Amino acid sequence: MEKKIVSVGYGDVKPIQIGDRLPLVYVGGPCAIESKDHAFKMAEMIGDICRRVGIEYIYKSCYDKDCRSSPSSFHGCGIDEGLQILSDIRKEFGVPVVSDFSDPAWAEATGEVCDMVQVPAYLCRQTSILKAAAKTGKPILLKKGQFMSPWNMKNSVRKIEAAGNRQIILADRGTFFGYNMLVNDMTCFPIMAYTGYPVCFDASHSIQLPTSMGNISGGQREFIPHLVRSAVANGINLLFMETHDNPDKALSDANTVLDIKYLENILGQAKRVHEVRLELLDKYGEDNVHPQK
């Protein structure tokens, strides 16, 4: 199996390499873009933390959250304003940026600005979305649907490949476990990695309790550190974790987004666990003692 490396970054932004035995990379930011001032504040805070930890990062925030439970919820600032803010963050901080899109018509504009485009979990089987993402020519962060098995994600991968794109990262954000509950199966990372593509753990969405509060989702963010340590030990290449400077006032995912005051602690632990895993692989060999056929 060929292990692929995905390069995120173009133009004046130095590319970040993700995959195989490369250093762990972090992707995060507020769930939704709330304002330019807030986005810039968060990008600066995250950058400072990542420099102290010694980990590269990609700034993530969405311009339109089309999957919100309530029509009265904040859905974002819109594609035009949102992409301009992300473009400004790229220029100001020299960092790659990513946003998802939920309408194929938004793909081209998103790909023109973003260094990576994200396919939302609920849309991971939608052929029109996958084709549109592929045609941007940018790397794709493909979220595993909460309803999907990890082995069936290869079908979504094949759709993207058939459309001419082989820059894919597969992310887990939990699997439905009855009503209003998610569970993480850590075997999903080696299973999805068998596609040859890098894998990612979405920590902040994995602790979500979908629509458990009537018209909004609850969450158990106290379990984020536990799940992060486990996922990193199980071989992820990219760690996704939304963060906010005031979660109680966050306009999107207020019950799941990580308080930024804990970010340095969790990233520091994640980086060290990743390094220890690589040390163990060097000493004892690859994980898969019973190779898949």
| 222-254 pLDDT, tens digit each | 999 999 999 999 999 999 999 999 999 999 888
Residue 291 has pLDDT above 70, yes or no: no
- Say if residues 236 and 200 touch (Cβ distance below 8 Å): yes
Residue 60 has pLDDT above 90, yes or no: yes
Residue 293 identity:
K
pLDDT in tens, 12-35: 999 999 999 999 999 999 999 999
- 178 or 225, which is more confident: 225
Q: What is the average per-residue pLDDT within 106-116?
A: 98
CA nearest to 209, candidates 124, 146, 267 = 146
Phi first, then psi, for residue 244 (nearest 5°) are -150, 150
Residue 292 has pLDDT above 70, yes or no: no
| pLDDT for residue 253 | 84
- Say if residues 54 and 272 touch (Cβ distance below 8 Å): no
Whether this prediction's pTM lies above 0.75 is answered by yes
What residues contact 256, with CB distance under 8 A and at least 6 apart? 204, 205, 207, 208, 217, 219, 221, 242
Q: How confident is the model at residue 69 (pLDDT cuts 50, 70, 90)?
A: low
Strand, coil or helix: what is 263? helix
Residue 92 has pLDDT above 60, yes or no: yes
